[in-house]
Amino acid sequence: MNEVTNKFESLLSGIDIFKGLNKAAIKDISRRFQIERFQKGEKLIESGKQATCLYIVSSGNVELQTPNLLGHIKRQINLTDGSTLGEVSLLTNVPFSSDAVAIVKTVVFSLAREEFDFLLEKYKHFADTMTSQMSKRMAQDGGINKVGRYTLIKKIGEGNMATVFEAYDPMLERNVAIKMLKYDLSHNQDFLDRFEHEAKIIAKLNHPNIVNVYESIDEYSTRFIVMERLSGKDLDQILKEKGPLSIQETRDIMHQLARAMQYAHSQGKKGIIHRDIKPANVIVDDQGNVKLTDFGIAKPPKNEVTMVLGSPKYLAPEIILGNPFDGQADIYSMGIMAFTLLTGTPPFSASSLNELLSKQVKQSPPDIKKYRPEIDSDLKKFIDDSLIKDPKKRISDWKMIKTLLRPRAISDLPPVNKDEIAFITRIQNNSYQNVAMIVNKLIKIMDESDISHSVEILKQNSSDDE
């Protein structure tokens, strides 16, 4: 029996969906399988029925037979030792489109649905692998092309919490974005309970700087969040492409973000806390309009693993310490983000997670003026006051925050020094990208001519909520 067990454990560790799990996990998983034997011609799986087990072929030969409309076999796939079948049907609850027939006497190991669901919750690596398997079959020819009433078009992104697809809404004739929660979250009941509660509130958020969430859908054993399809790039991408932003660009983005957060914190009985403010969750379009995404997806960290998922470089000290927290945690994250936009990197970095978290809790941030000596006093004050470790002493008044971050008018700019020449060019009805092309050419000319210079792009907001 030990020989059979050892052989099966070795087989499991080499199968794609279990690769990367440690020996203890493999041993635990192997104990949950049962041995089944099928005679030649017997069906392991019948077309039109839902899966009840995950099968792993131990010895023999299984053929997947897909009939056409006339009942003739139009596709045949042979599965031999180490092949798996049934896992996608278990995930999606979609009936099989093929018969799985034993071509010769065949031995398989089977894992019951209840055990399969348990493993998804217990082993994050296994859940991640199954998420990957699922996402490969979505928006593909012959794969899964529908979520609710929406037709999937293509995969457009992937993060720690979700895989993102572009889809088409035939009822309202528009494209949308659909986020599929990864299976470790969709099988985490604590997370789902909070998600279901907040999803109803989040769907009601209506602010020009917050992405519109239309609905959540429970299908394929996970949750899908349907939201508006945004144009533009996230700030993480922008920073990688162009480096630190100008003072004025930073002001403009942070002011719009402050308006969004003030609105969110005023909703519901206790306000909606974002929990995961970072550049990757802020989209900027060609006109410089900001959209904050991923409300209600990021969960508050309770252990080291969830802290990693929660972007530790942007976490407030009170969250790291496990203390009760409120909207002040979001303001701390905003301070980290403002520092990052101006310098290209967050104020705290380390070679290990524990060291980084310790710095977030104990170490004072570096003086932003050392990196950007031209920074004005108001923007510096926001960064300094938002990064105070004690949430009770941290800046909290939204009117003050928006005043400190308000994009500056031309009349507010410092006067021209006697050794400076300033010129102003106003460009109407154009995008940041087009303006940037012109400015970059100008900068190149001044660089080549060895002219000391500074350039800022100013944009007047058409309206404000103050």
Q: What pLDDT, on the 0 to 100 scale, is given for residue 181?
A: 84
- 444 falls within a domain: yes
- 125 falls within a domain: no
To the nearest 10°, the Cα dihedral for 21, 23, 28, 30?
A: 90
- Whether 134 contacts 92, CB under 8 Å: yes
Same domain, 369 and 434: yes
Q: What pLDDT, on the 0 to 100 scale, is given for residue 140?
A: 66
CATH code of the domain containing 210 = 3.30.200.20
Same domain, 262 and 175: no
Same domain, 223 and 237: no
- 30 falls within a domain: yes
Which residue, among 392, 376, 224, has the nearest Cα to 297 in the 3D structure? 224
Rounded average pLDDT over 130-156: 80
Question: Residue 297: which domain range?
Answer: 233-448
CA 421 from centroid of its chain's CA atoms:
45
Same domain, 47 and 73: yes
Same domain, 198 and 306: no
Which of left, alpha, beta for 234 (phi over 0: left; psi -120 to 50: alpha)? beta
CA distance 329 to 312: 12
**Tens digits of per-residue pLDDT, 380-418?**
999 999 999 999 999 999 999 999 999 875 445 556 666
**Tens digits of per-residue pLDDT, 49-87?**
888 899 999 999 998 887 665 555 555 678 888 888 888
**Over 70: is that where the pLDDT of 4 sits?**
no
- Of 241 and 300, the one with more pLDDT: 241
Same domain, 54 and 203: no
Q: What pLDDT, on the 0 to 100 scale, is given for residue 68?
A: 60
Same domain, 291 and 416: yes
Rounded average pLDDT over 278-300: 81
- 126 falls within a domain: no
The catalytic residue positions are 276
Q: Given pLDDT bands bounded at 50, 70 and 90, which one contains residue 445?
A: confident
Domain count across the chain: 3
State phi, psi for 385 to the nearest 5 degrees: -75, -25
Instruction: Specify the residue for token string 């003026």.
Output: 369
Q: How many CA atoms lie within 13 A of 224 on its CB side?
A: 22
Same domain, 6 and 73: yes
- Please give the model's pTM, rounded to 2 decimal places: 0.69
Same domain, 361 and 379: yes
- 27 falls within a domain: yes
- 155 falls within a domain: yes
- 411 falls within a domain: yes
Q: What pLDDT, on the 0 to 100 scale, is given for residue 301?
A: 38
